[in-house]
């Protein structure tokens, strides 16, 4: 998708509204993971070096349209000061006379961080009046929040009606290039790996990918709905009965298209997620009172073999309850297999990113998306409001 980029803007002596995703986890007023903050730093620095002043905006948490001190962006401002090595002023609000005055007083090279956009219900309602007030703070618009691009919110969609041009930031560019490469012109063979708990969360994605991939590996809780649809007894493993017929149709569709849809052949089972340990059994041997909580070693071998020869790999969703040590081995082993592949590798989703980080192989992944929901919706072929709202490149 060809969109105007920040590199095509004349930023000298202009105030640029940068919509970022600074929704970082906090603990007692301190940022515990600054990954998303670091991701937007290059765009901020680019604008500042070009002679612009930056009006920076983001949401944080779910304050439900009301001011909630625990969701203030003050800790974000403090961490950004360290990352940018300069003062970052926090506005008293994201709109209003005082905020407008501070924005207009900015000089080249200065940064003003607006207070939490979601302190106003109008943000999530994509309210035009609220968007107009945000637009008044700057002279051009840059969206670097791909992780929120699937939301039709005022600072993402409606604002572009009042603030032009609207360009993609450096992070947005990277996301669109990496994911667009998968959908539009992937190096083949293309292998997709899907995990996570529920089939229902990824049905549209599975259907969309079947027309594009050469192989689809399915693990995690969602695999048990597919296995159950084939007649396997899977004990107390997570199964969505309403989607058994859909799973059967998906398997048939994969066969018709010549797509290798690869399912687990063994699983690590236990009484529940709080069990101190699990044991690997074949898929046909899952005890009636136990549940599958990770893929087993034979499945790891099977999935790893399926990656051989791949030139593009995309992965979303863990293979089990990897945050529990007894059920982490399968996901971590697969992370190492993906990282060790010579293919162009792309991963997305918080749990998957956490898994490759935990496995110590994050630096070996070709591209790590900052997004979860937007990552999935883009791969499903949906139009993302935050992308659609950007100005088309000439």
Pick the catalytic residue: 19, 36, 102, 151?
Answer: 36
Does 198 participate in catalysis according to the annotation?
yes
Does 38 participate in catalysis according to the annotation?
no
Pick the catalytic residue: 61, 180, 309, 350?
Answer: 350
User: For residues 46 and 6, is the Cβ–Cβ distance under 8 A?
Assistant: yes
What is the spatial distance between Cα 216 and Cα 123, in angstroms, rounded to a whole number? 38
Contacts 24+ apart (CB under 8 A), 170-174: 170/6, 170/42, 170/43, 170/46, 170/144, 171/39, 171/40, 171/42, 171/43, 171/144, 171/146, 171/370, 172/143, 172/144, 172/145, 172/146, 172/387, 173/5, 173/6, 174/367
Residue 256, class by beta-carbon neighbours within 10 Å (0-12 exposed, 13-18 middle, 19+ buried)? Answer: exposed
Half-sphere exposure of 182 (CA within 13 A, CB side): 32
How long, in residues, is the chain?
394
Distances, alpha carbon 191 to alpha carbons 4, 15, 194, 265, 304, in Å: 31, 43, 10, 19, 11
Report the interhelical angle of 35-49 vs 74-84 (nearest 10°).
60
Pick the catalytic residue: 61, 366, 373, 381?
Answer: 373
Q: Which residues of 337-364 are buried (b: 16+ CB within 10 A; e: fewer)?
A: bbbebebbbbbbbebbbbbbbebebbee
Strands 166-168, 26-27: parallel, antiparallel or unpaired by DSSP? unpaired
Pick the catalytic residue: 132, 198, 236, 336?
Answer: 198
User: Containing H/E element for 333?
Assistant: helix 329-340
Residue ranges in 69-218 assigned as alpha helix (H): 74-84, 97-104, 121-124, 128-135, 170-184, 203-209
User: For residues 179 and 57, is the Cβ–Cβ distance under 8 A?
Assistant: no
Does 249 participate in catalysis according to the annotation?
no
Does 66 participate in catalysis according to the annotation?
no
**């998303």: which residue's tokens?**
36
Active site residues: 36, 198, 350, 373
């Amino acid at each position: 998708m060809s969109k105007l980029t920040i590199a095509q803007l004349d930023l000298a002596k202009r105030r640029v509204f940068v919509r970022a995703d600074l929704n970082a986890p906090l603990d007692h007023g301190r940022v515990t993971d600054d990954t998303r903050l670091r991701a937007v730093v290059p765009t901020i620095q680019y604008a500042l070096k070009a002679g612009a002043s930056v009006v920076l905006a983001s949401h944080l948490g779910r304050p439900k349209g009301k001011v909630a001190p625990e969701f203030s962006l003050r800790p974000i401002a403090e961490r950004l000061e360290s990352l940018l090595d300069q003062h970052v002023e926090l506005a008293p609000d994201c709109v209003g006379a005082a905020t407008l005055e501070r924005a207009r007083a900015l000089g080249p090279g200065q940064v003003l961080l607006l207070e939490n956009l979601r302190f106003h219900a109008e943000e999530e309602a994509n309210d035009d009046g609220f968007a107009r007030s945000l637009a008044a703070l700057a002279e051009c618009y840059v969206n670097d929040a791909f992780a929120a691009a699937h939301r039709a919110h005022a600072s993402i969609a409606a604002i572009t009606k009042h603030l032009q041009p609207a360009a993609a930031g450096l992070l947005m560019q990277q996301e669109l290039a990496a994911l667009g490469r998968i959908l539009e012109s992937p190096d083949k063979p293309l292998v997709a790996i899907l995990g996570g708990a529920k089939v229902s969360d990824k049905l549209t994605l599975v259907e969309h990918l079947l027309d594009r991939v050469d192989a689809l590996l399915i693990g995690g809780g969602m695999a048990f709905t597919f296995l159950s649809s084939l007649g396997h007894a899977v004990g107390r493993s997570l199964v969505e009965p309403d989607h058994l017929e859909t799973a059967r149709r998906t398997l048939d569709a994969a066969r018709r298209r010549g797509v290798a849809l690869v399912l687990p052949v063994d699983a690590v089972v236990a009484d529940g997620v709080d069990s101190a340990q699990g044991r690997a059994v074949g898929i046909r041997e899952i005890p009636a009172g136990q549940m599958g909580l990770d893929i087993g070693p034979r499945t790891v071998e099977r999935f790893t073999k399926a990656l051989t020869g791949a030139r593009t790999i995309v992965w979303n969703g863990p293979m089990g309850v990897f945050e529990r040590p007894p059920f982490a081995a399968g996901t971590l082993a697969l992370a190492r297999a993906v990282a060790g592949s010579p293919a162009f590798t792309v991963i997305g989703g918080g749990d998957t990113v956490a898994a490759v980080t935990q496995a110590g192989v994050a630096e070996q992944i070709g591209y790590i998306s900052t997004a979860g929901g937007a990552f999935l919706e883009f791969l499903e072929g949906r139009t993302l409001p935050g992308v659609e709202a950007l100005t088309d490149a000439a």
